[in-house]
Amino acid sequence: MKLLSFVSILLLLILSACQSNNRYSLSSPDTSNQVDIFFNNGKLSYTVSKDGEQLISPSRLGLIFEEVDLSTFDKLSVISETYNNSSWETIWGENKIIKDNHHFLSLEAKSGKHIVEIHFKAFNDGVAYRYIVPEQKLDSLHLTQELSQFNMAQKGDYWWIHADYDSYELLYNQTKLAKIDTAHTPITAKFKSGKHISIHEAALVDYASMTLKNNGEGFDCDLVPWPDGIKVKSEKTLKSPWRVIITGNNAGDLIESDMVLNLNEPNKLEQTDWIEPMRYMGIWWDMHLNTKTWHAGANHGATTEYAMEMIDFASANGFRGLLIEGWNLGWETWSNWNFTKAYPDFDIEKVQQYAKDNNMTIIGHHETGGKVAYEYEPQMKEAFEFYGDLGIKAVKTGYVGKIDNGQYHHGQWMVNHYQRALELAAKNKVAVVAHEPIKATGLRRTYPNFLSREGVRGQEYNAWANPSNPPNHTTIIPFTRGLAGPTDFTPGAFQMTYEEYREPGFPSRVSTTLAKQLALYVTIYSPVQMACDLPKHYKRHPEMFEFIKSVPVDWEYSKVLNAEIGEYFTIARKDRKSSNWYLGSITNEEGREFEITLDFLEEGKTYQAIIYQDGKEAHWENNPYDHKIYQKAVSAKESIQIQLASGGGCAIEFIAE
Ligand code: NOJ
Ligand code: CA
């Protein structure tokens, strides 16, 4: 018996020793996640497991350039293996302190004289890898294919949008793998075992966006090309973004993951005190409802007079920003833009001074209409200086339509354009909120003036699209688009249908209850949150508007309380500037009741909870405004019962006593 076990241990040792020639393993500090890298017949592949359960089955690694093939190798060696356990403070965010605890492994793969490094990191919330091509004897690097695969080891449900090279403004599908053709990242799956994964990328700089193509087993990386078909062009060296696989035991784990931020470089801006998370209103919804126009004329929205009226309302209600769209020349044709010249009925200096006098700032606007190369780029420097000189603290950029030089929104050229705009904005102490953006990949850590971006089928679709966003839309977004970073969804619609403004039978509407609009300020994370609707609509429900007036936009800590993708989501967040907590809970078409344990509150403290919830008769479709507000003293030892109507939600403010 003893001899037998000795022999089997010896065998095992020989086997693993043997394997270790061709296999490298890296585990997360808590050992839950493991990435195994295999080197067989010159080819590199990897798998990912969590708690011993395979999530990613053998998947290829490698790069193919016009100049050199880095997909088959003669030699693989370890360069370094390190451990990191540190933490860092965010300038703004969902959490003040972020732990960066991971194991790191770098490998060098050689193909003749040519080399590529592949770096791996294993965190407790997932694994990531990237390629680095150091300088070597090559005249240029034209990447034609990144071979990265993400093959799926298990069956499950996926939430995904089609990989449009120009847009993310799509409704999410929920299907099995077989029904997916191509997909944007983040794409999220819930496996049969209950494990969740989301595939995305971090630190997308000077590279093309990764989309995914179904290969039958899972996905192949499919980079968004240049017009000539090349994926990424570089002169001497190349660094891919991190390929990120977030893993979790439940949907909430994905939300609480910090990997995307941890995989980005620390803040590069010397001074950051001018960067300000804020709530804002806008001369905006009017244009989407067709009650005003962007261009000048009888119904022009951006007039000096209307801007001052909006500032009066917004400042009286504690808002810091007023977005003004349609003040500069170009809107008649969406071309021949002039980013510094106003229509004659708008005095930008006067309006910004009035904003300042009322403790506010204009949020500027650069709609390019896709005229990026030939109209925006030549004016960009001057346009950001113009806003910077006026003390305008943030600019919303926009990229509606095809790009004028034939590039895709998500290709390398545009990735570099968004970066140029961001750095230019920073130079002028201006923050950026990009619409029709490149997806977020955590760059807000490095450039904290990148406050937020759209890249989602946002509230605007509820003003004019057919179909508008269905009730489950916002129960999917946090687990897909939201994992990438802050989302400028623009919540706060207080008028759900538009009989006053539109023809009978108009198909668009807001498909939520009023209480759910409040909850979105907590469930959708963004350091700039708009109150999108018109003052006269807020005046119809002033008691509900109170929540929007007090909800913070910068958090010390965020904790998921319950979550099921596409069904419901409840999260509590602690204000960074006070001891108050805020809770948002939302549901899809199904009404629900939750018992919420309040153990996230500070022990020993009493809080006045103000609960904004759906009324008994509320329903998104036929009774969206029915609501109930009540107040209750609570402590961490208690729990609270909340009711969510069909398409409904609940928002709670916990004021520390
Ligand atoms: C699309 C943006 O998403 C929207 O917010 C903006 O009002 C229009 N473009 C016009 O720039
Ligand atoms: Ca848009």
Q: Which ligand is nearest to the CA of 367?
A: 1
Are 170 and 254 in the same domain? yes
Confidence at 20, pLDDT banded by 50, 70, 90: low
Judge whether 68 lies within some domain.
Answer: yes
Are 489 and 476 a contacting pair, CB within 8 Å?
A: no
Ligand 1 nearest atom to the CA of residue 365, by list position: 11
Are 184 and 198 in the same domain? yes
Burial letters for 551-583: b for 16+ Cβ neighbours within 10 Å, e otherwise? Answer: bbbbbbebbbbbbebbbbbbbbbbbbeeebbbb
Strands lying side by side in the sheet with 581-587: 555-564, 568-575, 581-587, 649-656, 607-614, 627-634
Q: Which ligand is nearest to the CA of 370?
A: 1
Are 249 and 298 in the same domain? no
**Nearest residue CA, atom 10 of ligand 1?**
367
Strand duo 23-27 + 33-40: pairing: antiparallel
Residue 209 domain boundaries: 2-262
Residues with C-beta atoms within 5 A of ion ligand 2: 435
CA nearest neighbour of 396 among 305, 312, 326: 326
Q: Assess whether the previous peptide bond of 542 is cis (omega < 30° from 0).
A: no
Separation of CA 600 from chain center: 25
Q: Assess whether the previous peptide bond of 624 is cis (omega < 30° from 0).
A: no
Specify the pTM. Answer: 0.96
pLDDT in the model for residue 18? 30
E strand or H helix at 651: strand 649-656
CA distance 439 to 250: 24
Are 175 and 272 in the same domain? no
Q: What is the mean pLDDT of residues 398-421?
A: 98
Are 426 and 543 in the same domain? no
**What 8-state DSSP symbol labels residue 602?**
P
Are 628 and 648 in the same domain? yes
**pLDDT greater at residue 17 or residue 254:** 254
pLDDT in the model for residue 131? 98
Tokens coding 216: 């039958």
Q: Is the CB of 286 under 6 A from ligand 1?
A: no
Separation of CA 362 from chain center: 24
Q: What is the mean pLDDT of residues 42-48?
A: 98
Are 242 and 320 in the same domain? no
pLDDT tens string 321-367: 999 999 999 999 999 999 999 999 999 999 999 999 999 999 999 99
Are 540 and 416 in the same domain? no
Q: Kindly tell me if the per-residue pLDDT of 8 is higher than 50.
A: no
**pLDDT greater at residue 4 or residue 434:** 434
Q: What is the CATH number of the domain that holds 105?
A: 2.70.98.10
Ligand 1 nearest atom to the CA of residue 398, by list position: 11
Q: Which of 167, 280, 435, 528 to mutate to test the pocket of ligand 1 (most atoms within 8 A of CB)?
A: 435
pLDDT tens string 158-203: 999 999 999 999 999 999 999 999 999 999 999 999 999 999 999 9
| Percent of all residues in the chain with a pLDDT value above 90, rounded to a whole number | 96
CA nearest neighbour of 478 among 50, 129, 136, 188: 188
CA distance 21 to 656: 59
Are 258 and 384 in the same domain? no
pLDDT tens string 277-305: 999 999 999 999 999 999 999 999 999 99
Judge whether 488 lies within some domain.
Answer: no
CA distance 189 to 178: 13
Q: What is the CATH number of the domain that holds 385?
A: 3.20.20.70
Q: Is the CB of 435 under 6 A from ligand 1?
A: yes
Centre of ligand 2 from the C-alpha of residue 54, in Å: 38
pLDDT tens string 213-258: 999 999 999 999 999 999 999 999 999 999 999 999 999 999 999 9
Q: What is the mean pLDDT of residues 61-66?
A: 98
For residue 113, count CB atoms less than 10 angstroms from its CB and return exposed for 0-12, middle for 13-18, buried for 19 or more: exposed
CA nearest neighbour of 517 among 550, 495, 539: 495
Q: Kindly tell me if the per-residue pLDDT of 15 is higher than 80.
A: no
CA nearest neighbour of 250 among 562, 526, 555, 587: 562
pLDDT in the model for residue 7? 39
Q: What is the CATH number of the domain that holds 579?
A: 2.60.40.1180
Are 87 and 182 in the same domain? yes
Q: Is the CB of 488 under 6 A from ligand 1?
A: no
pLDDT in the model for residue 1? 37
Q: What is the mean pLDDT of residues 35-61?
A: 98
Centre of ligand 2 from the C-alpha of residue 128, in Å: 30
Judge whether 136 lies within some domain.
Answer: yes
Judge whether 485 lies within some domain.
Answer: no
- Tell me, what amino acid is at 604? G
Centre of ligand 2 from the C-alpha of residue 453, in Å: 10
pLDDT in the model for residue 21? 64
**Nearest residue CA, atom 6 of ligand 1?**
398
E strand or H helix at 7: helix 2-22
Q: What is the mean pLDDT of residues 45-68?
A: 98
pLDDT tens string 471-511: 999 999 999 999 999 999 999 999 999 999 999 999 999 99
Q: Which ligand is nearest to the CA of 169?
A: 2
Which segments of 446-591 are extended strands (E)?
A: 450-453, 528-530, 555-564, 568-575, 581-587
- Tell me, what amino acid is at 287? M
**Nearest residue CA, atom 11 of ligand 1?**
367
CA nearest neighbour of 560 among 585, 577, 579: 585
Judge whether 197 lies within some domain.
Answer: yes
**Nearest residue CA, atom 3 of ligand 1?**
435
Are 577 and 433 in the same domain? no
Q: How many domains does the chain have?
A: 3
Q: Is the CB of 367 under 6 A from ligand 1?
A: yes
Are 315 and 191 in the same domain? no
Judge whether 481 lies within some domain.
Answer: no
Centre of ligand 2 from the C-alpha of residue 473, in Å: 16
Q: Is the CB of 454 under 6 A from ligand 1?
A: yes
Q: Kindly tell me if the per-residue pLDDT of 27 is higher than 80.
A: yes
pLDDT in the model for residue 273? 98
pLDDT in the model for residue 212? 99
For residue 444, count CB atoms less than 10 angstroms from its CB and return exposed for 0-12, middle for 13-18, buried for 19 or more: buried
Which of 435, 455, 475 is the last residue in one of the domains?
455
Are 415 and 207 a contacting pair, CB within 8 Å?
A: yes
Judge whether 576 lies within some domain.
Answer: yes
Q: What is the mean pLDDT of residues 372-398?
A: 98
Confidence at 4, pLDDT banded by 50, 70, 90: very low
Q: How far is CA 9 from CA 2, 21, 23, 52, 655, in A?
A: 11, 19, 19, 21, 61
Q: What is the mean pLDDT of residues 424-434?
A: 98
Mean pLDDT score across all residues of the chain: 96
Partners of 641 in the beta sheet? 595
Ligand 1 nearest atom to the CA of residue 369, by list position: 11
Q: Is the CB of 325 under 6 A from ligand 1?
A: yes
Q: What is the mean pLDDT of residues 509-527?
A: 99
Residues involved in catalysis: 460
Q: Kindly tell me if the per-residue pLDDT of 570 is higher than 60.
A: yes
CA distance 395 to 398: 10
Q: Kindly tell me if the per-residue pLDDT of 588 is higher than 90.
A: yes
Q: Kindly tell me if the per-residue pLDDT of 120 is higher than 90.
A: yes
Separation of CA 278 from chain center: 17
Judge whether 483 lies within some domain.
Answer: no
Are 381 and 424 a contacting pair, CB within 8 Å?
A: yes
